[in-house]
Structure 1
Amino acid sequence: MDYQAIRLLLIGILTFDFIFNKALGILNNRSRQQPVPAELEGIYDQEKYAQSQAYQSEVFNFSLISSSFSFLMMLAILWFGGFGWLDEYLRGAASVEPLTSLYFFGVVYLASDLMGIPFELYGTFVIEEKYGFNKMTFKTYLTDKFKSYLLALLLGGVLASLFIVLVMFFEENFWIYFWVAISVFMIFINMFYTSLIIPMFNKLSPLEDGPLKTAITNYSEKVGFPLHNIFVIDGSKRSSKGNAFFSGLGKKKKVVLYDTLIEKHTEEELVGVLAHEVGHFKKKHIIWSMVSGILQTGFMLWLLSKFIFSSEISWALGGHVTALHLNVFAFAILFSPLSTVIGILMNLMSRKNEYEADAYAVTTYDKEPLITALKKLTSDSLGNLTPHPWYEFMNYSHPSLLKRIRAMKAIK
């Protein structure tokens, strides 16, 4: 396939992906206007339901504008060979190939992020503020942005440098060595995420002694889950929305509860949420998800090794010489149809895991506290009660609230 055909293929993939996802979004936006199922009545009163409809509509319309801007920008850059121009310019500043690639990745990342800042600011300080969700100050936003750049420079720079060096020394077999390195990195991050990354952005505090900690400890002992690391995160410094998550392996495992979650839920509901998280651990969902991610990464790297030295792909992006960074960028687009299929499979696995974790919580604790907690979480976030089935199938990592409630009520 010549470079002009490859360029048209890249544009075609981007265009199809954009139209397909926007069509699904429109279907989902219309679906929220359906009558509320009987099992979900009472989650919203009439005023709050109207507020949730307005919020979801505003978020969708804004995402349509922001994604259209990104799509048109990418289309124009591909059509006019903008990446090739950038490659040629950077070669004048850094003629050594490793530096050229590092500079390219850095410039593309920074430019993409800077173009997204106006949309981030509007989404956070206008839409989220309007509906009472945003608790972030502009100072916190700037601090977060600086820390994100620092992490991208340190972690992204190290990984990108390693990737480039391995390609230079091992050529087509680079993917094996980088796969090993990235797998070790993924395991390390999974183990130490709450110890190293989260404290850069949030404060983690051990759950204080009291009725809640006693209830959690009693439940943990009952199900044979040795839990000593229960932390509260100050999520309220950024948003009023609540959450909880499980992180780490072995002795590094931690359960983290958002302070907003503790504030809005009863002790029984919080134990129900914890029981769900324990279910993920007991069913080994975290390990299997990590294994799946590692296998997916290996497959992607193997496939990349078949494209990375193609001159035609570099020319398709406007380059005048074969460039590793141009081929990597083009591959990300070429891989997106496969990535969509893999994403669907991963979502199917994730939804299965959520059903299993719910079932574990029901059988080892009680269904009603968890059901009530999920209803509150949906209400507090002005969530969509009636997502479109196709949109849910393609995008939801968790089953819809209605399906989760029906599954739990079916357990005897």
Structure 2
Amino acid sequence: MFTLDEYGLRNIILFLIWAEFFWETYLSYRQQYRKAVSTEIVPEELRTVMSKEEFEKARQYSLAKLRFGFVKDTQAILLTTFVIYLGLLAVAWNYATSINPLAGGEVIISCIWLFLLSLTSTLLDLPLTIYYTFVLEETFGFNKQTAGFFIWDKIKEFIVSQIIMMIVCSIIIVIIKNGGPYFFVWLWATVCVISFILLTIYPSVIAPLFDKYTPLPEGELRTQIEQLASKLKFPLTELYIVEGSKRSMHSNAYFYGLFNSKRIVLFDTLLAKDDGTGCKNDEILAVLSHELGHWSYSHVTKNLIAMQLNLLLVFAVFSVMFKYPLLYQALGFYTIQPVLVGLVVVLTYVLMPYNTLLSFLMTCLSRRFEFQADDFAVQLKKAEPLERALLQLNKDNKGFPVNDKLFSAWHHSHPPLLERITILRESARKMN
């Protein structure tokens, strides 16, 4: 009769991690060699807006990112295997215990342990992050950060993330240890509240620490956006431009806010420039019509509900499994069972197959939502400018428009450009 011990469980965890790595590598191989390497002709739908030279740059950019992704994933899988096989999480815990300035206290030790892991991970990732920003992105004309800006940005990012993480983890540990047999319900309710608080304060308190937000100046574009919001009864309270060009030349637009207080944010890179990049006013309005489609169909609310229900299920599973000694022994914890370690093991490793499946299903749901938002823009007679905007944004961001179906289905939360244009045109034809 087969009996599972800590070594067997450790091997199962490593098997799951490596299986995911090989799957992701296979998908990247399909995209790289079946599409990016072999496709050298501009698709017919893009020939009026994308030259052969621009298409080639997009192809090379895609290949560079795929190669970089493989190197980064390989580093991550080797490091994870090394950490798990040698029980380094337990070594870090023992060190955190030895430098704990207070006698006892699992909360304090957990925070020190988490800080050590975060600092080590950040330092190990730093060379690849620097390469991606200052070599890969720089080569293709996207990076606009100076070395000083990059360093200060990373320091702020680390400090803010540590403050939030320490507070949240401390609350989680206290609830788990003192919440009784149904602690997972209290834990879920508390995390829900924390999530809503962070959603509320992040755009107005945290995000301005990293980027400059200024009101969109009075003018034709502002007037047109306000008229669109008024027509749709969208509760627009603020309209901002974010200075994204100090960081990157990639473009974006989004809205945020709860209940009857919504704010729209446009990246300055989205606005039309003299060099031909960016979108014209009617194209920006079409993009915002798409975004407002998400609001009209309550996509954000539906995603939040799905996430919270999933969180409740995950915490319920954790409540059943976290006292199982082998979970800790598999990672080198033979004499203690810290609840934060148990949470990491269950959420990251034990539930890995479930998380992978859920991620794929959420990607499928996201693509459905994107098509619905596109259709909303079509209903507002924005099909033609939305198509132009999508083509322009793809050109500006050097997006490679040819995708392997399996790679795209697994990774792309937004539909591929050519598929999106085809459906846009079909929807517009039915409207006429």
TM-score normalised by L of structure 1: 0.96
* Superposed CA offset, 1:70-91 (max 9, x none): 1111111111222222223323
Report the equivalent of 2:299: 285
Report the equivalent of 1:158: 167
Matches for 1:163-182 after TM superposition, within 5 Å: 163-182=172-191
**5+ residue gaps, structure 1:** none
2:195 alignment partner, one of 186, 191, 196: 186
Cα distance in structure 2, aligned partners of 1:347 and 1:157: 30
Matched, 1:338 2:354: yes
Matches for 1:150-299 after TM superposition, within 5 Å: 150-263=159-272, 264-299=278-313
2:424 alignment partner, one of 386, 408, 411: 408
Matches for 1:25-36 after TM superposition, within 5 Å: 25-30=28-33, 31-32=35-36, 33-34=38-39, 35-36=41-42
Cα distance in structure 2, aligned partners of 1:368 and 1:120: 38
Matched, 1:20 2:23: yes
Cα distance in structure 1, aligned partners of 2:81 and 2:162: 27
* Superposed CA offset, 1:27-65 (max 9, x none): 111223335443233342111111111111111111111
- The CA deviation at 1:250 is 2.0
Cα distance in structure 1, aligned partners of 2:184 and 2:48: 53
Matched residue type, 1:280: H
Matched, 1:349 2:365: yes
- Is the contact made by 1:351 and 1:399 (CA closer than 8 Å) also made in structure 2? yes
Report the equivalent of 1:371: 387
Matched, 1:88 2:94: yes
Matched residue type, 1:410: E
Report the equivalent of 1:327: 342
Matched residue type, 1:408: L
- Which segment is superposed worse, 147-156 or 393-402? 147-156
Matches for 1:9-88 after TM superposition, within 5 Å: 9-30=12-33, 31-32=35-36, 33-34=38-39, 35-88=41-94
Cα distance in structure 2, aligned partners of 1:80 and 1:117: 23
**5+ residue gaps, structure 2:** 273-277
TM-score normalised by L of structure 2: 0.92
* Superposed CA offset, 1:323-343 (max 9, x none): 323322322122121111111
Alignment partner of 1:256: what SS? strand
- The CA deviation at 1:249 is 1.5
Report the equivalent of 1:118: 127
Report the equivalent of 2:275: none
Matched, 1:4 2:18: no
Alignment partner of 2:90: what SS? helix
Root-mean-square deviation (CA, aligned residues, Å) is 1.5
Matched residue type, 2:161: A
- The CA deviation at 1:195 is 0.9
Matched, 1:361 2:377: yes
Cα distance in structure 1, aligned partners of 2:385 and 2:330: 56
* Superposed CA offset, 1:99-149 (max 9, x none): 222222221122111111111100001110111100111112112112112
Aligned length in residues: 412
- The CA deviation at 1:171 is 5.0
Matched residue type, 1:382: K
Cα distance in structure 2, aligned partners of 1:41 and 1:333: 46
Q: 1:171 to 1:22 in 2, by over 3 A?
A: farther
* Superposed CA offset, 1:328-385 (max 9, x none): 2322122121111111111111111111111111111321111111111111111121
Alignment partner of 1:228: what SS? strand
Alignment partner of 2:254: what SS? strand
Matched residue type, 1:83: L
Q: Which runs of 4+ in 1 moved over 6 A?
A: none
Q: Give the % identical residues.
A: 27
Cα distance in structure 1, aligned partners of 2:197 and 2:345: 29
Alignment partner of 2:249: what SS? coil
2:331 alignment partner, one of 317, 320, 328: 317
Matched residue type, 1:291: I
Alignment partner of 1:242: what SS? coil
Matched residue type, 2:133: T
Cα distance in structure 2, aligned partners of 1:106 and 1:171: 28
Matched, 1:97 2:103: no
Cα distance in structure 1, aligned partners of 2:65 and 2:416: 19
- The CA deviation at 1:410 is 1.1
Cα distance in structure 2, aligned partners of 1:42 and 1:69: 41
Alignment partner of 1:257: what SS? strand
Q: 1:15 to 1:230 in 2, by over 3 A?
A: same
Matched residue type, 1:298: L
Matched residue type, 1:11: L
Cα distance in structure 2, aligned partners of 1:163 and 1:336: 21
